[in-house]
Structure 1
Amino acid sequence: MYAVGVQRVHSRDIRKMENAFSVTNEPRIVTRKQAILISADPLRAIVLRDVCLVYVPDGADTLLSVLKAKFAETARDDDAPFEFRALEALLATLSRYFQSQFDQLSPVVVGALDGLMQGGLKARELEKLREFKNTINEFEAQVDGVRRALMVLLDNEEDLRLLYLTRLYDELNLLSDLWSIDSEEIEVLIENYLQDIFSTRTKAELMQHRISNTESLVMMQLDSMRNYLLGVDLIFSIVVISLSVGTFIAGVFGMNLHSGLETADGWFMGVVLLTVALFLVMTIVGILYFKSKGVLLQ
Structure 2
Amino acid sequence: MAGDGYIVPADPQAQASLNNKTSVSRSWILIDCRGEGTILDVDKYAIMQRVQIHARDLRILDPLLSYPSTILGRERAIVLNLEHIKAIITAEEVLLRDPLDDNVVPVVEELRRRLPPVTVNAFHQGQEYGGENLGGQNDFEAGEEDESPFEFRALEVALEAICSFLDARTTELETAAYPALDKLTSKITSRNLDRVRKLKSAMTRLTARVQKVRDGLEQLLDDDDDMADLYLSRKLAGASSPVSGSGAPNWFPASPTIGSKISRASRTSAATIRGDENDIEELEMLLEAYFMQIDGTLNKLTTLREYIDDTEDYINIQLDNHRNQLIQLELFLSSGTVCLSIWSLVAGIFGVNIPYLWNTGHGNMFKWVVLLTGMACAFLFILIISYARYKGLVGS
- Shorter-chain TM range is 0.7 to 0.9
Aligned residue runs from structure 1 range 46-195, under 5 A: 46-56=88-98, 60-69=101-110, 71-76=112-117, 78=119, 79-118=147-186, 120-172=187-239, 180-195=277-292
Moved more, 86-95 or 134-143: 134-143
Q: Of the two structures, which has the highest relative contact order with CA contacts closer than 8 Å and spacing of 6 or more?
A: 1
2:309 maps to a residue whose letter is S
Rounded to whole Å, the distance in 2 between the matches of 1:70 and 1:52 is 9
1:61 maps to a residue whose letter is D
Aligned residue runs from structure 1 range 234-249, under 5 A: 234-249=331-346
Rounded to whole Å, the distance in 2 between the matches of 1:77 and 1:293 is 81
Find 2:62's aligned residue among 18, 30, 42.
18
2:354 maps to a residue whose letter is L
Secondary structure class of the residue paired with 2:78: strand
Question: Conserved in 1, the CA contact under 8 Å of 2:99 and 2:108?
Answer: no
Q: Are 1:37 and 2:79 counterparts?
A: yes
Question: Conserved in 2, the CA contact under 8 Å of 1:238 and 1:286?
Answer: yes
Question: Conserved in 2, the CA contact under 8 Å of 1:42 and 1:57?
Answer: no
Q: Structure 1 pair 183/71, CA: closer, same or farther in 2 (3 Å)?
A: farther
Secondary structure class of the residue paired with 2:92: coil
Rounded to whole Å, the distance in 1 between the matches of 2:310 and 2:284 is 38
Gaps of 5+ in 1: 1-7
Question: Conserved in 1, the CA contact under 8 Å of 2:71 and 2:81?
Answer: yes
Moved more, 8-17 or 63-72: 63-72
Rounded to whole Å, the distance in 1 between the matches of 2:61 and 2:370 is 87
TM-score, normalization by structure 1? 0.87
2:381 maps to a residue whose letter is T
Question: Conserved in 2, the CA contact under 8 Å of 1:109 and 1:132?
Answer: yes
**Aligned-residue offset at 1:152:** 0.8
Q: Deviations over 1:28-79 (max 9, x none)?
A: 2222211111222122211122221222487x42552255225513535552
Q: Structure 1 pair 258/154, CA: closer, same or farther in 2 (3 Å)?
A: same
TM-score, normalization by structure 2? 0.67
**Aligned-residue offset at 1:283:** 1.4
**Aligned-residue offset at 1:275:** 2.5
Aligned to 1:287: 385
**Aligned-residue offset at 1:168:** 0.7
Question: Conserved in 1, the CA contact under 8 Å of 2:340 and 2:377?
Answer: yes
Q: Deviations over 1:65-100 (max 9, x none)?
A: 255225513535552222111100000001110111
2:212 maps to a residue whose letter is G
2:183 maps to a residue whose letter is G
Rounded to whole Å, the distance in 2 between the matches of 1:266 and 1:157 is 105
Secondary structure class of the residue paired with 1:98: helix
**Aligned-residue offset at 1:230:** 1.2
1:206 maps to a residue whose letter is T
**Aligned-residue offset at 1:257:** 2.4
Rounded to whole Å, the distance in 2 between the matches of 1:191 and 1:77 is 25
Secondary structure class of the residue paired with 2:96: strand
**Aligned-residue offset at 1:285:** 1.0
Rounded to whole Å, the distance in 2 between the matches of 1:36 and 1:48 is 6
Secondary structure class of the residue paired with 2:86: strand
**Aligned-residue offset at 1:233:** 0.9
Rounded to whole Å, the distance in 1 between the matches of 2:206 and 2:195 is 16
Find 2:372's aligned residue among 274, 287, 290.
274
2:68 maps to a residue whose letter is E
Moved more, 124-133 or 28-37: 124-133
Question: Conserved in 2, the CA contact under 8 Å of 1:35 and 1:46?
Answer: yes
Rounded to whole Å, the distance in 2 between the matches of 1:185 and 1:42 is 26
Let me know the Cα RMSD of the aligned residues: 2.4
Rounded to whole Å, the distance in 2 between the matches of 1:202 and 1:57 is 31
Rounded to whole Å, the distance in 2 between the matches of 1:257 and 1:195 is 93
Question: Conserved in 2, the CA contact under 8 Å of 1:45 and 1:53?
Answer: yes
Secondary structure class of the residue paired with 1:171: helix
Q: Structure 1 pair 104/63, CA: closer, same or farther in 2 (3 Å)?
A: farther
1:146 maps to a residue whose letter is V
Rounded to whole Å, the distance in 1 between the matches of 2:377 and 2:181 is 48
Question: Conserved in 2, the CA contact under 8 Å of 1:44 and 1:54?
Answer: yes
Question: Conserved in 2, the CA contact under 8 Å of 1:91 and 1:193?
Answer: yes
